[in-house]
A and B are shown apart, each in its own frame.
Chain A
Amino acid sequence: MNKQFFDVAIIGGGPAGLAAALSARKAGAKQVVILERDVELGGILQQCIHNGFGLHRFQEELTGPGYAGRFVRMVRADTGITVYTEAMVLEVAKDKTIWAVSPTLGLIQLSARAVIFAMGCRERTRGAIRIPGYRPAGVFTAGAAQRMVNMEGFLPGKNIVILGSGDIGLIMARRMTLEGAKVQAVVELMPFSNGLTRNVVQCLEDFAIPLHLSHTITFVHGRERVTGVSVAAVDANRCIVPGSEFYLPCDCLLLSVGLIPENELSRAMDICLDGLTNGPVVDQYRQTCVSGFFAAGNVVHVHDLVDFVSEEGDIAGRSAALFANGELPLEKQYINVKAETGIRTVVPQRISLPTAAGEKVRLFMRAQEPLTRSTLTITTTAGKLVERKLPVAKPGEMIVADISTEKISPDSQEIIVTLLPQSLGGA
C-alpha cells in the first residue's frame, strides 16, 4: 500500500468538513482529503429533511439535504479535493499519520501537514441518563429514529412519547405525526423548552401535542417491547414531586436528551478538552492545544445553526492551509477566555498572540439560563471590550459577539464574559 501525502486532511464530511475543505483550498492548500465513514458526504444534514437551514449564509430557507448539496457539489467539482467515503478513521498519530478502514479499499494510510477534526457529535443514550425500568425494544434516540424514518423507510413505533424538547425532539414529534403515528406527549425536565419558538408552534401546537414542562420519565414499562412510561413532575431542584406521577401508554420512547461531541480520536491523542463543551479547547484559528491539529463544527461545541458550523469550518480550513504552508503566525502566548456569571460556555476558549493588525475574533457563547433584558459584558484587565444589551437570551440559541484584538494587550491576564440581568448593575 502506498502512503499518500496531503497538505490538509479532514476527518468527517459534514457541513464543518465540507466548508473546511473548500476554504483550505482557497487559502492555498494544494492537496486536501476528506475522510467520511458514511456512504456519502453531508453528515447529519442528510437526515434533517425539514427546512430552516441557511438563512444567514444563503438568505433563504433550505432543507438539510439542500444545504448539504450546495457544498457537496462544490467539493466534487474541485480536483484538488480527494474524497474517501465509507472510510472510518481509527487512529491519528501526533506526526499526522492517519489510519482508516474502508470495505472497498481495506486499510488506508495517509499523512498530512495539518489535520482538521470535523467528526460532529453523537446523541446521549438512555444509559447516559439512567431511567429505571426494563430494557425493552422500542427505545430509540430521536436522531436514530430520524434516520430510520427519513432515509431508511422504517417507522420505529406508532404510539410515541418523546423525552426532551430541544429542536430534534420537537422536529421528530411533527415528523412522526405526519407519518401517521400518534405522539402522546413531549416531556421536558426543564421549566422551558430549549427549542426554537418556531418549532414549539409548528411541531407541537399545530398538532395539539401536549408539552409537559418540569416533568421527567421515572420508569419505562414493558419487558419485550415498551408498553408505557411513568411521568412525574419535578420541583425547582429537579427532584420528583411525590404523588404527581401519571402513566402514558406507548410502544416507542424517543430520547432527545442532548448531544456529545465525538472526541475519541482527539482524546486518544491527549488533546486538551473543555469539560463544559466536551470539545477540544481551541484558539481563534480553531487550532487545538496540539500544533497543526484543528477542529470545527459540532466536535468543538454543539451548534444549533448550521450557518455557524460552516463559518467555523471556513476558519479551520483557512488556518490549516496557512499552517501547512508555514504561514500561520506562531503563537507566543495565550490569553484565556473565561465564561463567568450567566454564561455557560464560550468558544474559542483562548486567543493566541500576536494577532494580525485589525483582526477581529468572533466569540460564540451559551447562556446558563433564559434571561430577558440582560447585559453581555466582555472585559479584560485593561477594560471593557464589549457591552451589549440583549432583549432575550436563551441557552438554546448561541450568543455571538465580535471583539477587536487591538484592544487585547500581551499583559491582559484573561478575557471574562458575563451575562447579568439589567437590574443587577448591568444597566
Chain B
Amino acid sequence: MKLSRNALYGSLLLLPAAVLLWTFTYQPILTTIINSLFSTPRGRRSAEFVGLDNYDVMINDPVFWKAMSNNAIYAVTTIPLSMALALGMALLVNSKLRGQSLVRMAFFTPTVLPMVAVANIWLFFYAPDYGLIDQFLRPFGLAGNNLLGTPDTALWALIVITVWKEAGFFMIFYLAALQQISPTLLEAARLEGASPMQILRRVTLPLLMPTTLFVSINAVIGAFRLVDHVISMTKGGPDNATTLLLFYIYQTGFSFWDTSYAAALTVVLLAILALIALFQFGYADKKVHYR
C-alpha cells in the first residue's frame, strides 16, 4: 500500500499538535489512573500496588461526599444563574441606551479582575458589622451576620461571588451573538405584528442557541475549575461547608502529600467532566437548530 503524498503531509502537519496533546493531556491522564491504583510513596517506603483501595477509602470518606454534594449545589446554582444574568445584561446593553459603553464596561469589569483580588474585596463586603452587606442590612434590624463564618451560609456567599464574576464574561459571548442577528428577521417579525416578548421567544432565543450551548460548556467547566476564592477566603471551612472537589484534590495532594489518594479523586473528577461533555456534545448538540 502506497501512502499518498497528501496523507503524509497531513499527518506531518498534525504531528506537533498530537505530540502536545499526548504529552500534556493523555499521558497525564494515564499516569493519574495508574497512580490511583498504588499506595503513596513516603520517604523510605516505596509505592506498592493496592488495587482499588484508594477508591474504597473514598467511599467511606465523609469529606469526599461533602465535597461532592457541595459541588453539586454549587454547579446547579451558579450555572443557570450566571447564564440567565449574562443574557439579561446582554439584551440590556444591546438595546439603545445612553452611556451604553460605560454600562458594558461596568458589567465586564468583574471578569477582568483576578479571582484572588475579587476574593479579598468580598472578604470585606462580607465582614460582620462593618462590611458593606451588614451595613446595608442594619437599618432593617438584620445586622450581625457572619456569612462566611457560618456553615449554612458560607457556600452561598461563594456562589454569589462566582455568579457576579462569571456573568460578565458570558455576557460578551451573548452580546457578540446578538449583534450577528440579521435585522431583516426582526423587521419581518415586527411587520407581522409580533410583540417584543414574542420576538424574544420565537426569533432571538432560538438564534442564540449555539451560543447558549458554548456558554453552558464553559460554565460547567468553571463550576469544577474555580476554587481560587475557596483557597483565599475559607480554606474549605467552616467544618468543610465550602470544600469543593478540586479544592479537596489540591489539599490532599499538596498539603497532605497523599498523592495516590489525590490521583483517585482526580479520576472521579475526570469521569464527571467526561460524562457531562459526552452529554453536551452527543445529545444537546443535536437539539440545537440553526447550525
Does chain A bind chain B?
A: no
Query: Which residues in B have some Cβ–Cβ distance to A below 8 Å?
Result: none
